[in-house]
Structures are given as C-alpha cells and as structure tokens.
Structure 1
C-alpha cells in the first residue's frame, strides 16, 4: 500500500505545470485511522540460569533444563520453526567478601551459565500451561513475554486506505465550511506508522511457582495500530 501511495505522489509530481494549474489553491489535511486487535500469537523467552564450580558443569546443567523446555514446546504442538535458542551465556562468577579489617574484595565463585529459548505460541490459551510446566522442566527465569500480529503489513495497508478516506472526508468538510467545493487530489503521502512488532510485557522476571496444578494467569490485551496520511486537494473554482 505504501508503494501505491508513493506511485500516486510520483504521478502527481510528474504532471506538467499549467498557467491555470488547479493546485495553485489547495486544502491540506492529515487523515488518521486506528485499530485495536486481539494478538495472533504470544512470544515468550524462557531461560535457565545455573551455577557450578566449573564451566562444563554449569553449562551442562543449564542446557539439560532448557532441553526440557524445548521438549515441552513440542509437546504443546509448537512447530519446530517457532522454537529457537535466543541466548547462551557462560561467565565466571564472583562474590564480594568483607575482611575483618573492613576492606571489601571480590573472590572467584565458580561459574554461572544461562541458556534461553524463545517459543512462539499461536494457541495463546495454552500460554499459562506453558509457563507453569516450564517450572517443572527446570526453568527459573522469564526474560520476556510479548504479543504480535501475523500480518502487520496487511494491517498497515488497511489503515492507510482508511486514513486516506478520512483525509478526503476532512477536506470535503473544510471546503463546505468555507463555501466552496473540493477539487482533485494534488498530493498524497503516507507516514511510516504501522502495526507494532511483538511488544514485551515483562523482562528479567523470576518465575514464582504457583500452587500445584495452577496455570500462570496471563492477559493478552489488544494491539493498538495507527496510521496517518497527508493529502492536499485543489479548491474547485
């Protein structure tokens, strides 16, 4: 749709100028449109953070638990393409100690490892089950939860059309208010606004175990999308 708007603007710019050009006197407006939609999918990043005396033990423990989360996603029917590793971290751990003389220093304290997997879930009614069962698989962090639309470009295209119609209606109202008539379209350009990408609800959150068998309550809400176009119309003589 943005390409279509750009094409119209290009044709208008290429039109030969005339002494009595109808676009010498114009009405310029901004048309707007918005929509509120339920999300099509949930995207959650679940990770496991472990600590051990040596790097291999720390990484192995984290990887084993994350393997359980991956298996859980498959068990819930999530396609392979919607399950992916998002981060693997291994670093030396330290701790701060205070000496009897009051000085503070850091000491080596083994190794810390983290392994994270991102799962995109189309059936959001199962998101609470996924988070609850991830605890049993060994997860101890939720890095982010987000919601998104499958076809944000389509949403943007629809809003661009609606915004263009709104611009025409606004211009017609203004023309009528000043006792004249609206002429042809002189210019049209669209904004870069679009349906947003998956938006995070929470980050770096520690999982807290609910009562046995209880799902983690999640409210998806709606996704707000907006668009705007600028248009200029000739005033009919």
Structure 2
C-alpha cells in the first residue's frame, strides 16, 4: 500500500487532530459526574416525612358571657323603651360586679313584630319584641357565677352561653411547640436507627394547629330562676388544651 506523506499546513492540522482525539478520554475522566448521576446517588438514601404534636393543658384565665334582655310590648316604641330601661340596670350591675366598660360589647340589637296564627285566619299582630344582646369579658374566672347572678337579678332573661379562654395563649403555644419538636426529633431518630442510617439534617418544618377557644358552654334556664338569697350559680372552668401540630422532612445518610 503506498504511503501518503502530508506536508506543510495539512500535516500540522492532522497532528493537532490526533492530539485532541488522544486527550478526549483523559478530559472525560477528570470532569465531575453528570447531574443525572448525582440525582441517582442521592436517591439511594430516602428522606423522612414525619408528623408529631405537642399538647399543653392549662387553666383558663378569662370567660366570655353572652346574654340578652328580651322585652315585649303592644307597640315597637314601648318594647324598645322597656328594653332600654332594663338594659341600663344590667349595665349598672356589671359595673358593680367590677366589669370595666372596655369589656362590655353589644353583640346584637333586634326588634321584631309578633303574630298569633290561627288556622284559616290571617295572622294577627300581637305586639313587638325587642332584644338586646351583650358579650361580657370576665377576667376573673372565679367571678363568672356571681356575675351571671348579678345580671339576671338586674333584668337579663336570656343567657346564651359561656366561653372560657386565654387572654394571651403565647406562652402555652410555645411550650406546645417545644414538646412537638422533641417528639418529632425522637421519632426521626427511631426511624433512622431502624433503617441503619443517620439523620443528615432537617430539611423543612411546618406548623399547624394552635390555640382554639372552646365552644360556648350553655347555661340553662333553670339558672335564671335562682332567688336572690340562693347560692351563686356554680360554674367550673376546667382546663383548656393548647395543641401544636408539626410536620418535618429529614435527610438520611450513611
């Protein structure tokens, strides 16, 4: 086979191509792994997605009482006037019980016509009913029963319920958060030990829940019939539950 000789620029170009071709494998070996390979390596160690909660029991330090004055009269003006007179007495009773003006809020004022219905006859106007509802914040839970008795004696004829709560739930919530994080960490360590891996770090942490006031506790009509010389209406505040729910994602490694 005849030999082909390259001379001048053509020979130099051929040499350069040979050098590049020879260096290609070495360059490929020195470069880092491709992103797809890195993802595959990380996928060998699963992540933990866990949930836990912390709960604190605490005595309430406030109570909201919802009550109303309902009056009926032949005319709307009379119904409203009677209601206003009785509600004025109720406000005085609240002041006498140590309730401040800032803790008294009107929650509803309503006036409705009242009808009598007889079969096969048109409705007959009986009169008008006026309703004035008030929400009172009691900062001393020990005084809830005596406060309820005081407003009933002054003219309140409807008590819708009592709601116990916390004026500032921050401290209880923070205690519940600490308990929740400890529970989450303990659970993650158990899973890591069981899988033969170790915790590489906490990737994310999410909180849910928190302080929720309890539903109103109804006070029945029998409490409104207590006489002035009877013992105060017994009311038990009990305990509130402050719960924090969290979820966390932990990375695992060998």
Same fold (TM over 0.5): yes
State the TM-score, normalizing by the size of structure 2: 0.77
Q: Residue 160 of structure 2: which of 130, 133, 143 is its match?
A: 143
**Alpha-carbon deviation of 1:27?**
1.8
**Mapped partners of 2:44, 2:172: distance in 1:** 32
**Mapped partners of 1:175, 1:198: distance in 2:** 38
Q: Residue 73 of structure 2: which of 52, 70, 73 is its match?
A: 52
Alignment pair present for 1:185 and 2:208: no
Structure 2 match to 1:67: 88
Q: Residue 29 of structure 1: which of 38, 45, 50 is its match?
A: 50
**Mapped partners of 1:66, 1:52: distance in 2:** 16
More strand as a share of residues: 1
Q: Residue 217 of structure 2: which of 201, 210, 214 is its match?
A: 201
Q: Which runs of 5+ in 1 are unaligned?
A: 1-16
**Alpha-carbon deviation of 1:62?**
1.2
Q: Residue 91 of structure 1: which of 87, 98, 112 is its match?
A: 112
Which secondary structure does the structure 2 equivalent of 1:27 belong to?
Answer: strand
Q: Which runs of 5+ in 2 are unaligned?
A: 1-37
Cα 1:51/1:135, change in 2 over 3 Å: same
Which secondary structure does the structure 2 equivalent of 1:77 belong to?
Answer: coil
Structure 1 match to 2:185: 168
Contact 2:87–2:155, Cα closer than 8 Å, also in 1: yes
Structure 2 match to 1:14: none
**Mapped partners of 2:57, 2:45: distance in 1:** 39
Structure 2 match to 1:38: 59
**Mapped partners of 2:181, 2:80: distance in 1:** 55
More helix as a share of residues: 2
Q: Deviations over 1:41-75 (max 9, x none)?
A: 01001211010011111011112112222222211
Q: Deviations over 1:181-232 (max 9, x none)?
A: 22211221112x1111353112785753124322111111211222211111
Q: Deviations over 1:76-117 (max 9, x none)?
A: 22221111111111111111234xxxx354210111001111
Total equivalences in the alignment: 216
The CA RMSD measured in Å over matched residues stands at 2.4
**Mapped partners of 1:204, 1:104: distance in 2:** 36
Contact 2:145–2:233, Cα closer than 8 Å, also in 1: yes
Contact 2:66–2:159, Cα closer than 8 Å, also in 1: yes
Which has the higher Rg, Structure 1 or Structure 2?
Answer: 2
Cα 1:173/1:226, change in 2 over 3 Å: same
